[in-house]
Structure 1
Amino acid sequence: MNIKVIGTGCDKCDTLYENVLIVLNELDMDAEVEKVEDLVEIVKLGVMSSPSLMIDGKLVASGRVAKKDELKKILSK
C-alpha cells in the first residue's frame, strides 16, 4: 500500500501525516507513507487543496484533516 499525505507542510498536513502513522500502527499494518510537499509534484498529482490523502493513487480525502476513526475505516478496506 502506498499512502501520500499531500500538502505544503502546514500544521494540518503534519497532523494528517501523524494520524495516518498512528492508525497504521493501531491496525498493525505496513504501508509506504510519504509526504508530498513540493508544489510541482502536488500539481502533477492533480490535487488542488491541502491537506489531502491519496492511497494507491486514489484521492480519499481532500482539503481537511481526516479523523482517526475515518482513517481506520478507509485503511481497513
Structure 2
Amino acid sequence: MVLVEIFGTGCARCKRMNRNVEIAVGDLEIDAEIRKIESLDAMIERGVMLTPALYVDGEAKVVGHVPCVEDIKQILLGEK
C-alpha cells in the first residue's frame, strides 16, 4: 500500500491537489491510503513550509504548487 499525504490548510489549491490525487489513484487502481493533513503543528513537525505539499511514503514529492493528474500518476508510479 502507498501512503499519500496532502499537507494544506484547506485552501482552493489544497482542495484541487486532493482531487487530483484521488483521480490519479483511481485511474491507476492502486492500493493507496490518502491522508489530508491540515494541522499547522503537523506541518511544522514535518518541515512543510509551503502548501500544498504532496508526500508519498514519507518523501516530499511536490511543494508549493498543484501538479496535474498525469504528473501525480508519474510520481505514484515512481517515474518522477
What TM-score results when the alignment is normalised by the length of structure 1?
0.96
Structure 1: where are the runs of 5+ without partners? none
Counterpart-to-counterpart distance in 1, 2:5 and 2:77? 17
Amino acid at match of 1:75: L
- Secondary structure of 2:67's counterpart equals coil
CA drift of 1:66 comes to 1.0
Gaps of 5+ in 2: none
| 2:65 corresponding residue in structure 1 | 64
Quote the offset at 1:76 in angstroms.
1.2
- How far, CA to CA, are the matches of 2:74 and 2:30 in structure 1? 13
Report what 1:38 is aligned to.
39
d(CA) in 2 for partners of 1:64, 1:44: 20
Identity of aligned residues (%): 35
RMSD: 0.6
SS at match of 2:61: strand
For these two proteins, the number of residue pairs brought into alignment is 77
